[in-house]
Amino acid sequence: MDRGKILVINCGSSSIKYRVYDMPGETVLAGGILEKVGEGRSFLACRGNEKTEVSAPGHEQGLKLIMKTITDEKTGVVKGPSGISAIGHRVVHGGESFSAPARITGDIIRAIEECSGLAPLHNPPNLAGIKATMALFPNIPQVACFDTSFHQTIPEHAYMYALPYELYEKFKIRRYGFHGTSHHHVARRAAELMGKDGYEANIITCHLGNGCSMAAVKEGKSVDTSMGLTPLEGLVMGTRSGDIDPAIIVYLEEKLGMPGKEINALLNRKSGLLGISGTSNDMRTIIEEAEKGNARAKLAVDIFSYRVKKYIGAYAAVLGSLDAVVFTGGIGENAPTVRKNILSGLQSLGITLDTGKNEESSNKERVITSDDSKVQVFVIPADEEACIARDTYEVCRKD
């Protein structure tokens, strides 16, 4: 395949995001989101159009609807399903089985099913999307792109937890890491922007969105990342606690008589920025509140920034020498106050922020450090769908 149109699908439990790319130029031809799949009243919002109510009682019907929109005679971007060259799917957990995107076959589906226990909220809807598109379009090549695969290069001493070794052998308890497509993309772009081959640069990537994670990327390979067995570990997030003393869980069980499931919900849905501020999980609201003098909102921003700074220090030590730091994700790209908090006092690591450049608002790739800063700091927009389209295109081109 030298040229072609790639459909990218990101199937959540109740939503399906899609985009159509013309490859290899990566021009976006269409895109949108189908919300509340399987919830009675579903809504389809396509780029440039109003949201409309539709019927999507399940993923298969939802995908049929999306395909109908894409191939519509008047407003569609391809002539029938055969106009799509390949379909790329986001899959959250690939466990230890996948270190690269994979062309989907029966064996690959079984391997993804085996990883479902590690991501019970994410892999089953991802699989539902794959199975539905395979049934609807059996002749179109399909590719699975995993959030975990970029981190499969992390060495054993960084991915193992200091727990009884049998727990790894029996249950595969270890660090996997997530947001791999994003970390890979921004690290590669930063290396390109520095005029280096990705394999010559040591880069720390910070993906700060609703979910937040960081990666230490040495010569093009992930050597450590902040998320772990699940996306709960590491940084402070919108509603997730990130790192805590694990003994807190037992203490809460005793003090509040809370069962494990409820503690899990507390750590995943009621903690992080929301838990500390008591106001919101949205960084925009929290910054506004902090500026109005709300002390807990300010504390939330401070804890958030401090945790990122701490990981920058840790990963600088892991990498040995540092060429660049990259910010991406909704917060990383759009919150200069947070970036300033994180980077203040890091001159000893060779980072000198240019406050003017940091304040500039732009949706383009850019440098925010001064010209004489030893380490460059970049802001690079996240584009996970484009990465999936590129990976899908590459897998199909090789076949």
Instruction: Note the residues at the interface with ligand ADP (CB under 6 A).
Output: 209-211, 238, 282-284, 287, 329-331, 334-335
* CB of 124 vs ligand ADP, minimal distance in Å: 19
Instruction: Indicate the SS3 state at residue 306.
Output: helix
Identity of the residue, 5 or 184, whose beta carbon is nearer to ligand ADP in the bound complex: 184
Cα angle 224, 144, 176; round to 5: 20
Q: Which residues contact 61 (CB under 8 A, 6 or more apart)?
A: 55
Q: Which of the following is catalytic: 147, 323, 383, 391?
A: 147
Cis peptide before 24 (omega within 30 of 0): yes
* Cα→Cα distances 54→183, 278, 304, 397, Å: 35, 36, 39, 36
List helix spans (H) across the chain. 59-71, 106-114, 123-136, 156-159, 165-171, 180-193, 247-256, 260-269, 272-277, 283-291, 295-319, 329-334, 336-343, 355-359, 384-398
Query: What are φ and ψ of residue 248, in 5° steps?
Result: -60, -35
Identity of the residue, 229 or 287, whose beta carbon is nearer to ligand ADP in the bound complex: 287
* CB of 328 vs ligand ADP, minimal distance in Å: 8
Residue 147 among the catalytic residues: yes
Identity of the residue, 5 or 298, whose beta carbon is nearer to ligand ADP in the bound complex: 298
* CB of 24 vs ligand ADP, minimal distance in Å: 25
Q: Which residues contact 115 (CB under 8 A, 6 or more apart)?
A: 93, 94, 95, 97, 123
Q: Between 336-343 and 283-291, two packed helices, what is the crossing angle to 10 degrees?
A: 80
* CB of 42 vs ligand ADP, minimal distance in Å: 20
Which value, to the nearest 10 degrees, does the dihedral of the CA atoms of residues 186, 187, 191, 193 take?
A: 10
* CB of 216 vs ligand ADP, minimal distance in Å: 21
Residue closest to ligand ADP when measured from CB atoms: 330
Identity of the residue, 37 or 208, whose beta carbon is nearer to ligand ADP in the bound complex: 208
Identity of the residue, 253 or 365, whose beta carbon is nearer to ligand ADP in the bound complex: 365
Identity of the residue, 128 or 335, whose beta carbon is nearer to ligand ADP in the bound complex: 335
* CB of 340 vs ligand ADP, minimal distance in Å: 12
| Catalytic machinery residues | 147
